[in-house]
Amino acid sequence: MKVLVVGGGGREHAIVWKLSQSRFVEKIYCAPGNAGIAKLAESVAIADTDIRNLASFVEKVGVDFTIVGPESALSEGIVDYFNARKLNIFGPTKAAAQIESSKIFAKEFMKEFHIPTASWLSFDKPEDAIKFLESHELPLVIKADGLAAGKGTVVAENMEEAKDAVRKMMIERAWGEAGRRILIEEFMPGREVSVLAFTDGKTVVPMVSSTDYKRAFDGGEGPNTGGMGTIAPNPNITGEMLDRVRDEVILPVVEGLGRKGHPFKGVLYTGLMIRDGNFKVLEFNCRFGDPETQVVLPLLESDLMEIILHIHHEKLDEAEILWKHELSAACIIMASGGYPKRYKKGLPIEGLDKISDPNTQVFHAGTTKVGDKIVTNGGRVLGVTAWDNSLEKALNRAYKAVDKISWEKGFHRRDIGEGFLKR
């Protein structure tokens, strides 16, 4: 079958890489793709939110199935549009995608369906938000309501940071309409964990757990980013805990959306804070996480396309989904100097040809090709992923590969997974 993957980041490279191993897939297209994806799929020069032209391309070349990576396309209704044109597509509808596209919707939903989360209030006027901050103890968490590419969350340790976050979101509109409304919620100490799950709107199957490192610099310092590295599985998450997350969080979300007339089919991402054996929800995403996908899919034993077809036909309960439980995986994000703020593009990347380890895969995110050179084309440029029979060995493999790759002012964290290692 012919498959189109929508998107051009590291997550989409990981999806394309896994689909390329499927017995069901003969040809892969990717729109718009990147320099790494181009080695496995035919790149299509259509933006991931250009829904009409994506559908026209699918009809023109006879694509059998479209798989959507980015939240932006989902929140703009690509699934609804494709469904209306009777084109097969994987992902939730625009209404179901609100679980990510509006943090206030998600909070109100969790309250309605008794899903544990931090206490919160929403604001549509900056002066009201600042007045609230001035009368409460810090730290507090300030979030833009809408999509902000993983950067619309600020953990404010002091009043200056808190007021600055409100100004940037609501007055300066650093993330456009995403900051028209904000929410302020209690700070939750603990350990973060990500749980992605397949669902066909009825059955829920969690994937292996993972942990994302969002701060830009070592030690959890610096601004929030889209993710600077990740590991899987999270050593602190037992099978019993994963079952509880499924039963107490993911199933109630899927069932609740169904009762509201917004059935959710696709991948549901749950970000959790774990403390003393209990958990609360930080956020939901309506798609594969990035960079979590880069460590989860290498641990998937089963055929990804086969799972997607089971979901499409609402027969996920009949799918056999197997994992490489004997392995751990680690991904190190290599980013452009200045990220997540301003950074240069077009810088030549050296050393990619030196990576030959069969247990290491370099997933491209912000790259493009100029002549015969691969150059930087984004903030997060590469996700160097490795797997082995222990987390320590996986990290060693990943960092060994990272040390062979370079470009001007590129940087990465050196402490991914460190807190989980036994010393």
- Per-residue pLDDT reduced to its tens digit, 46-101: 999 999 999 999 999 999 999 999 999 999 999 999 999 999 999 999 999 999 99
Q: By the 8 A CB rule, do 92 and 264 touch?
A: yes
Residue extents of the structural domains in the chain: 2-91, 119-186, 191-318, 328-420
User: What DSSP string runs through 93-160?
Assistant: -TTTTHHHH-HHHHHHHHHHTT--B--EEEESSHHHHHHHHHTSPSPEEEEESS--TT--EEEESSHH
pLDDT above 80 (res 171): yes
The listed CATH number (1.10.3720.10, 1.10.10.10, 3.30.1490.20, 3.10.310.10) that belongs to domain 119-186 = 3.30.1490.20
User: What confidence score (pLDDT) does residue 322 get?
Assistant: 98
Tokens at 81, concatenated: 């549009």
pLDDT of residue 423: 44
Examine the pLDDT at 204 and tell me if it is beyond 80. Answer: yes
Which of 252, 269, 118 lies closest to 195, judged by CA? 269
Q: Angle at the Cα of 396 (from 219 to 14), degrees rounded to 5?
A: 90
For residue 419, the model assigns a pLDDT of 86
Q: How far apart are CA 398 and CA 382, in angstroms?
A: 12
The pLDDT score that the predictor gives to residue 422 is 62
305-324 pLDDT per residue, tens: 999 999 999 999 999 999 99
Residue 43: strand pairing partners: 30
* Confidence (pLDDT) at 22: 98
d(CA 121, CA 135): 14
Going through 180-297 in order, the beta strands assigned E by DSSP cover 182-186, 191-199, 204-206, 211-212, 215-217, 221-224, 229-232, 266-275, 278-285
**Closest to 175 (Cα-Cα) out of 141, 152, 142:** 152
Using DSSP's 3-state secondary structure scheme, residue 12 falls into helix
| DSSP states along 223-246 | EE-S-SEEEES-TT--HHHHHHHI
3-state secondary structure of 215: strand
- The pLDDT, as a whole number, for residue 224 is 86
Closest by CA to 153, choosing from 128, 188, 108, 205, is 188
Closest to 381 measured CA to CA, from 340, 416, 333, 337: 333
Of the options 3.30.365.10, 3.30.70.100, 3.40.50.1000, 3.30.470.20, the CATH number for the domain spanning 191-318: 3.30.470.20
Percentage of residues of the chain with pLDDT beyond 90:
92
Lowest-pLDDT range of 140-149, 199-208, 327-336: 140-149
Q: Output the average pLDDT for the chain.
A: 95
The CATH class for the domain spanning 328-420 reads alpha beta
pLDDT, tens digit, for every residue of 21-33? 999 999 999 999 9
